[in-house]
Structure 1
Amino acid sequence: MRPVSAAETAPTLVPWLVRAESLRVRAGKHLAVDGLDLTLDTGVHGLLGPNGAGKTTLMRALATVVKPAGGTLTLLGASVDGRADLREVRRGLGYLPQQFGFYPRFTVREFVEYMAWLKEMPKAAIPDAVQRSIDRVGLTAKADAKMKTLSGGMLRRAGIAQAIVNEPQLLLLDEPTVGLDPEQRLDFRDLLRDLGRDSCVLVSTHLVEDVVAACTDVILMNEGRLLFQGSPDDLVARGGPNDAGDSPAERGYSALLRQHRSNA
Structure 2
Amino acid sequence: MRYLSHFILVCWVCAGSAQAFASATSSDEAMPKARESAHSSHRIEHALMLMQRGIDFHHKGHIQKAIRVLEEARRLAPEQLKIRRVLSEVYISLGELYERSRLRRRSRWCYARALSINPHLVDDKKFFARYQQLQADKAARKQTIPYTKSRDMALSLGLTRGINGLLGVQFGMLFAGMFQPTLTFSPVLQTFDLSLQVILLRMFHWSPYVSAGVVVQTPLDRSEQGIKLSGPSYHVGGGIHYLSSWGFSFLTGLDIVYMTGDKKGFHWLPNIQLSWVF
- Asked if Structure 1 and Structure 2 have the same fold, meaning a TM-score greater than 0.5 normalized by the shorter chain, the answer is no
TM category, shorter: under 0.3
Relative contact order: is structure 1 or structure 2 higher (C-alpha 8 Å, sep ≥ 6)?
A: 1
Higher strand share: 2
TM-score normalised by the chain length of structure 2: 0.20
Q: Which has the larger radius of gyration?
A: 2
Richer in helix (by share): 2
